[in-house]
Amino acid sequence: MSTMSKPTSKNPLYVQVAAFVRQQIAAGIYKPHQAIPTEFQLAKKLDVSQGTVRKGLEELVAKKVLYRQQGVGTFVADQYGDWGRCGLVNVFDKESHVIFPKHEILSVAAVHVGADINQLFNVRMGNPLMWRVLIVWRHQIHVVALEEVYLPYERLPDFNRRQLSTRLSVGDLLLKEYSVAVVEQACVIGVGGLNTEQASILKVSAEEPVLFMQMKSADSKSEMVMVQKRYILTRHYQLNLSAMPLFKI
């Protein structure tokens, strides 16, 4: 049986459990969106109690290193982008595995937004500036989606594209640069359309049907900090909703 080496520090056992799991992730042994061993298996492997393992895993869930699916297991979070847990499946490939597109930052700009975005941020008066991050999502060479991310300008006055280039995602940047851990509050999914700018970027007609996702995320004080609007091309891919059964369609 493998056990943790004797600690040289006074860190509690649950902290050491969390550190062990992080090491397995960093080494590529536990991979994004794959289940890690059960609490029982980890407790046996590390020679600690299941309660200790549970507390260590809860720490990692709170930090969004892991996520849980009730009745299924505990999974490694996707730390390589803002795409989230619901990947895409190729509609023409019956054996297709779930894929998770990679992002490309097109632009970061301070803009005045419409009433719909202000309402999502609970802004009732005035027309304050918002940061808009424009993102293209690709799988291999294919563009599969366009996304607009909105962030409060007043709260993040020095936000810029250079910062994003050194981080894995917008969420990662908010956590590492501003100590803001975002928690998704709501997600709405439906059939949507494209405006002229969006269609031009995606190189399709404005009449092209797309799957529309709108996600709202808040900080630990429940203050809205990020709104994402994603437009997914449906010619070749469909969204795998099994990883997020609480989504509303």
* pLDDT (mean) for 161-188: 79
Nearest to 19 by CA among 34, 2, 5, 32: 5
What integer pLDDT is reported at residue 243 of this predicted model? 58
148 confidence band (pLDDT: 50, 70, 90): very high
Lowest mean pLDDT segment, chosen from 69-78, 120-129, 162-171: 162-171
249 confidence band (pLDDT: 50, 70, 90): very low
pLDDT in tens, 31-56: 777 899 999 999 999 999 999 999 99
46 within 8 A of 53, measured Cβ to Cβ:
yes
- Residue 3, pLDDT > 90, answer no
What integer pLDDT is reported at residue 245 of this predicted model? 44
179 confidence band (pLDDT: 50, 70, 90): confident
What integer pLDDT is reported at residue 90 of this predicted model? 87
What integer pLDDT is reported at residue 38 of this predicted model? 96
- Residue 172, pLDDT > 80, answer no
pLDDT in tens, 86-139: 888 888 876 667 788 888 899 999 999 988 898 888 887 777 899 999 999 998
What integer pLDDT is reported at residue 65 of this predicted model? 84
The DSSP line for 65-100 is SEEEETTTEEEE---S-S--S--EEETT-TTPPPB-
What integer pLDDT is reported at residue 196 of this predicted model? 94
Mean pLDDT of the chain: 84
Q: Which helix (H) or strand (E) holds 151?
A: strand 142-152
Most confident of 20-34, 109-123, 154-168: 109-123
What integer pLDDT is reported at residue 248 of this predicted model? 41
> Residue 59 and residue 53: Cα distance in Å, rounded?
10
What integer pLDDT is reported at residue 169 of this predicted model? 78
What integer pLDDT is reported at residue 96 of this predicted model? 66
What integer pLDDT is reported at residue 219 of this predicted model? 86
143 within 8 A of 228, measured Cβ to Cβ:
no
Ramachandran assignment for 71, one of left (phi > 0), alpha (psi -120 to 50 degrees), beta (any other): left
Write b or e for each residue in 20-31: b if 16 or more Cβ atoms lie within 10 A of its Cβ, otherwise e. Answer: bbbebbeeeebe
Residues of the chain with pLDDT > 90, as a percent, come to 41
Structural domains of the chain sorted by starting position, each given as residue range(s) with its CATH number in brackets: 13-76 (1.10.10.10), 88-243 (3.40.1410.10)
What integer pLDDT is reported at residue 9 of this predicted model? 53
